[in-house]
Structure 1
Amino acid sequence: MEIFDGEKVIIVEGKTDKKRVEQVLKERVNIICTNGTISLAKLDDLVEELFDKEVYILVDSDLAGEKLRKLFKKEFPEAEHLYIDRAYREVATAPYHHVASVLLSANIDVNTQYLQ
């Protein structure tokens, strides 16, 4: 089991997504990578571990991301879903300013330099 020291948790697909999000964040947020897929056992563990946290789902705007998002909606209905514009398709390749504005729209503090 992981130890989550912040109140907010963002779930992303891969390590490059995690790096992109970390670069724009200003506040302490735990970021979990699913590595593109997640077993039901691991998902159940996460639901249990994160029951008292603010959980955000930020996955790619592609078929794999939508499949993962659908699973999270079913198993984690209280999580807030954040969306990358389909024009960018992937969190990892979306411009910093876009990732920052998506996070800011969920009241997650970002470095203002990425909002310009």
Structure 2
Amino acid sequence: MTRQNVKVIIVEGRTDKEKVLKVVNEDVEIVCTNGTINVERLEDLIEMFDMDHRDVFILVDEDNAGKKLRKQLSKELPHAIHINIDKSYREVAATPESELAVALVSSHIRINPNFL
């Protein structure tokens, strides 16, 4: 499988990444932004991970910082697919694995069936 065939999932932090890796059942690259980022750093990440030519998914928290980051990412990556968690959980890391699995599978990301 070539790198271009591997999906990219953008999350905010390390705990989000760990949670996603726990439920995903395919090769994906997970990129942590560590919160909101400046345009220069975002452009570096886009280039480093060749995001202009890959399937990119945005999975961020449902809080003000996450909404700001989602908006910023949308401008730079208009082709990215947005994955939303239930607002009641607010954070990706706080979302139950079964709920996260449903959100990911609805975006055609293969997940471990144990979480459905």
User: Common fold, TM-score beyond 0.5?
Assistant: yes
**CA offsets 1:76-113 (integer angstroms, 9 cap, x no match):** 11110100100111000100001100100010000000
- Contact 2:57 2:82 survives alignment (8 Å): yes
Task: State how far apart, in whole Å, the 1-side matches of 2:114 and 2:78 are.
Answer: 33
Matched, 1:15 2:14: yes
CA distance in 2, matches of 1:26, 1:14: 20
Tell whether the 8 Å contact from 1:61 to 1:84 is kept in structure 2 after alignment.
Answer: yes
Greater fraction of residues in helix: 2
CA distance in 2, matches of 1:6, 1:12: 19
> Partner of 2:97 in structure 1?
96
Q: What are the within-5 Å matches in structure 2 for residues 45-60 of structure 1?
A: 45-48=44-47, 49-60=50-61
C-alpha separation in 2, matches of 1:61 and 1:32: 18
Match in the other structure for 2:40:
41
Task: Tell me how far 1:51 sits from its aligned partner.
Answer: 1.5
* Contact preservation (8 Å) 2:4, 2:53: no
CA distance in 1, matches of 2:27, 2:35: 23
In 1, Cα distance between the equivalents of 2:5 and 2:27? 6
State the distance in 2 between where 1:6 and 1:21 align.
19
State the superposition RMSD in angstroms.
1.3
Separation in 1 of the partners of 2:12 and 2:34? 5
Structure 2 gap ranges (5+): none
Is the 8 Å Cα contact of residues 6 and 30 (structure 1) preserved in structure 2? Answer: no
Q: Could you say if the C-alpha distance between residues 26 and 88 of structure 1 is closer, same or farther in structure 2, counting changes exceeding 3 Å?
A: same
Q: TM-score, normalised by structure 1?
A: 0.91
